[in-house]
Amino acid sequence: MARSSKQTEPPGTAARQWSPRVSAALLERLAARAAAPAATKTIVIEAPFSGEVLGHVPQGAPADVVAACAQAREAQQEWAQRSFAARAAVMLRFHDLVIDNSAEILDIIQLESGKARRHAFEEVLDVAIQARYYAHTAAAFLEPRRRQGALPVLTKAWEHHHPRGVIGIIAPWNYPLTLAVGDAVPALMAGNGVVVKPDALTPFSALWAAGLLEEAGLPRGLLQVVTGRGAELGEPLVDAADYLMFTGSTATGRKVAALAAERLKDSSMELGGKNALLVLPDANLRRAVPGAVRGITSNGGQLCISIERVYVHAAVYDVFAARLAVSLRAVRLGASLTFLEDMGSLIGADQLAKVAGHVADAVGKGAEVLAGGNARPDLGAYFFEPTLLSGVSAEMDLCRAETFGPVAAIYRCASVDEMVARANDSSYGLNASIWTRDTRFGRELATRIQTGTVNINEAYSATWASASPMGGFKESGLGRRHGAQGIVKFTEAQTVAVERLLAIDTPPFLNHQQYATLMSAAMKLLKRVPIVK
């Protein structure tokens, strides 16, 4: 759930200098990059730290999406003919530019999303890592390769991967750089054009990255950024693009998936989560407590893979719960553009109301607040304390619904089996965390958890790895990002086969019965022949 975007007529130049690196003039230059040349209205972008106006971007229309896809498709024709090495050179230059200009983008991310600088830095690292990873691996994943033919000797076969054309990316507000650009990198390396629709609340990071990609050598027009509201631009993007990558809520994901299915277009989605952390009786609490704090408070809890449910074995519950509550109360909140704070702001008024509402509903129905529980208007417009509650039960909204804030419920469990059962008792299946000194047992236990990723002795980040697929079970998504699946999905697979010597049919010197008998005997022999992958 996000705060509402405001609408106004084209503004005058704002005078505020937001940081030594981010001025009103810079934000205006970024807004001018939006692929909405005919827009007559703008969307007001709010700075969550203060609730003040940060800047404005064009309010794109469906026609802008259509035009952006057409321009990206035209540029894609030449880009698809470039070698993997040529595309990789662009991505490696982009990698360096992101790092070299990290101070500027850190300010932009913080100002438009309200997150702490340490969490903004995770986005910078992630985008650079994705650029480097796919620059070095795309060819291995996508170059033509031999495959087993229909029959050995008689046929040879090859697998080819062709770019789909134009990839539409609908990105959310919680990670405005990572989730706008992290998927664009493999899509581009696969030879596609890309049209990004960033969230209307956080468009500047995507616009900044688009400029840096062109500076790195990406052909102009190949990656387009259309700013505006998802309700108005989502369906036109589904219509005009050849593939959809969506990150956001499960409710919106259902709508996007239905639109794509009606048009027989493929899609990939990372959706919501109600992620569980399991503390086993042998866990190292000196590591588990700060790990849980990170899982609960990272990006203000506005992270699909953050921790909202904590299941603790009864043998260590009292000690762990007390230490976790103390540690959460010690989390440093603030709005500076420095690395001093542990946690920043929520994104806006609607999100603050949702988080506060979940806490109030739980407390009103009997839950106990062990830490936090309050908004902090003294720090900024949308700050909320890291919060831990016990006694949360099924009739409370907090129990099953995704809160998407720095709030977790803690539960005492009598056995490991109970912990697994309760972790799996959710319609979501995105991420889980297990804390144990016995990592072999932890790995075995992880396979019983119904989530796309399971972190052992870490809350969420260990599985967010370039080479490993990331996505959700159940209502937490479709498809995967990262690894081979993260780039192959942006291609169409094609098989080319050559028939040699004889036709795969009854030869003229045999009748059909003789052919069937011969082939049946051959099949029994072939079962012992290794399959060529």
**Catalytic residues, which ones?**
270, 304
Neighbours of 355 (CB within 10 A): 26
Apex CA 131: angle with CA 67 and CA 85, to 5°? 85
Q: CA 508 to CA 521: how far, in whole Å? A: 19
Contact 22, 108 (CB under 8 A): yes
Task: Compute φ and ψ for 371, nearest 5 degrees.
Answer: -160, 145
Angstrom CA distances, 101 to 62, 90, 96, stand at 33, 16, 9
Angstrom CA distances, 444 to 200, 295, 440, 441, 454, stand at 42, 22, 6, 5, 11
- Identify the CA nearest to 172 among candidates 105, 102, 116, 115: 115
Residue 174: CB partners within 8 Å, gap ≥ 6?
113, 299, 302, 303, 304, 347, 404
Task: Compute φ and ψ for 307, nearest 5 degrees.
Answer: -95, 125
Cα Rg, the chain, nearest whole Å: 26
Q: Which two tokens stand for residue 30?
A: 């970024």
- Identify the CA nearest to 408 among candidates 366, 359, 363: 359
Buried b (16+ CB within 10 A) or exposed e, 72-100: bbebbeebeeeebeebbebbbbbbebbee
Residue 271: CB partners within 8 Å, gap ≥ 6?
247, 248, 249, 250, 253, 304, 430, 472, 475, 476, 477
DSSP labels for 143-184? S-EEE--SSTTTEEEEEEEEE-SEEEEE--SSSTTHHHHTTH
Residue 44: CB partners within 8 Å, gap ≥ 6?
5, 6, 7, 8, 53, 56
Contact 364, 334 (CB under 8 A): no
Q: CA 181 to CA 194: how far, in whole Å? A: 10
Alpha helices for 223-338 (secondary structure H): 230-240, 250-262, 285-297, 317-329
**CB half-sphere exposure, 498, CA atoms < 13 A:** 6
Apex CA 251: angle with CA 248 and CA 255, to 5°? 95
- Identify the CA nearest to 3 among candidates 381, 282, 301: 381
Contact 60, 69 (CB under 8 A): no
Contact 362, 389 (CB under 8 A): yes
CA 91, chain centre distance (Å): 20
